[in-house]
Structure 1
Amino acid sequence: MMNGWLSRVGQFMEKAIFPISRFLQMLGQFVLVLMVLITVVDVFLRYVFNRPILGSYELTEFMMAILVFASVGYTMAVKGHVVVDLVITRLPKRAQALVECIISLIAFILFAIVTWRNVLHARTAWQRHDVTAELFIPISPFILFVALGIAVLSLVLLVHFIQSLARAIKK
């Protein structure tokens, strides 16, 4: 009874979260292309005309943050991260599910805390009107985007926790 309920909750959450993580990942792909274009044009203008793009370094920094944190949730959702499972694969399936359950829960808690701390950091940056040195771009929206990416990662980890718990208690 409990196992069926957990499986349904996990499937429901996965169906709700996966499209969000996929959208963010596609945004990350777009930002990567934009970052490459800005870098190529900047290098070209610097060496040919001695006129680099003003603030290209700052723009690239922000785009790197968007690229990484837009993609991390999707990568976890499709299990694209590197996994070292030398010991775990030798365990029985139920024990493997239990280990995955514990690891997912710990990771969920950790990244939920990181999300919360990033939201607080963004609020502080907003209150202090923190901006970049060259282009005077406010940094708080980018910190909030980092928090969004980590929040999606946290939700994916919660789904993994629920799914592995369902496998661990399966009869």
Structure 2
Amino acid sequence: MSAEELTEHAHPVAVPGWLAALCRLFAGIGGVTLLAMMVMTVTSILLRGVTGRPIPGDFELVEVGSAIAIFCFLPWCQINGGNVLVDFFTQKTSSRVNHLLEAIGDLLYLLIAALLLWRLFHGAAEMRQYGEQTMVLRLPIWTSFVIILPAMALLVASCTATLAGHLKGARA
């Protein structure tokens, strides 16, 4: 067997079409956010070099944009089996065993995602209540959660769907 034959590959499972479409939409939002951050960063650097004055709060916008992009990409990564896979022990195991192990991983990820969603919800509410803002632009921090919370809820739904798919694969 060649090294390529022994390398474990992800076992993505079928998810409902509406879920895949929502995950794709959020990944698109993450991509547009990254593109906007790139354009803003290049523009800020050019302005700093030419006029000596960058875009005010550019680092704040990159921080907020990075958080939004990361959370938007997580559900897409989950439904495509794109998370890190440690295949040292599973290279020669059956498909059923691999699905079972991935189901266990999905369950752990689901529990973590649900916990994060719960805490992010409360964190956003507190930030809104206390009026927490960014330092330079004075942007309300809670507004970024308008996208982050639905992205996390979508990750919970994605973990649930992949868990069900892997359990089905383990029984087959």
Partner of 2:89: 87
Partner of 2:16: 14
Residue identity matched to 1:21: C
Q: How does 1:15-164 map to 2 (within 5 A)?
A: 15-164=17-166
TM-score, normalising length: structure 2: 0.86
Separation of aligned partners in 2, 1:52 and 1:145: 27
The number of residue pairs the alignment matches comes to: 160
> 1:162 Cα deviation (Å)?
0.2
SS at match of 2:16: helix
> 1:151 Cα deviation (Å)?
2.1
Separation of aligned partners in 2, 1:96 and 1:155: 21
Instruction: Map Cα deviations across residues 73-116 of structure 1 (whole Å, 9 max, x no partner).
Output: 11221122332212123222222221111111111111111111
Residue pair 1:107, 1:157 contacting (<8 A) in 2 also:
yes
Structure 2: which 5+ residue stretches go unaligned? 1-12
Instruction: Map Cα deviations across residues 111-168 of structure 1 (whole Å, 9 max, x no partner).
Output: 1111111001001111111111111111112134333222222211111110111112
Structure 1: which 5+ residue stretches go unaligned? 1-9
TM-score, normalising length: structure 1: 0.86
Separation of aligned partners in 2, 1:75 and 1:95: 22
Deviates more, 1:123-132 or 1:138-147: 138-147
Separation of aligned partners in 2, 1:96 and 1:54: 50
SS at match of 1:89: coil
> 1:26 Cα deviation (Å)?
0.8
Separation of aligned partners in 2, 1:20 and 1:87: 34
Separation of aligned partners in 1, 2:106 and 2:61: 34
Moved >3 Å (runs of 4+): none
Residue pair 1:118, 1:144 contacting (<8 A) in 2 also:
no
More helix by share: 1
Question: Considering only aligned residues, what root-mean-square deviation do their CA atoms show, in Å?
Answer: 1.6
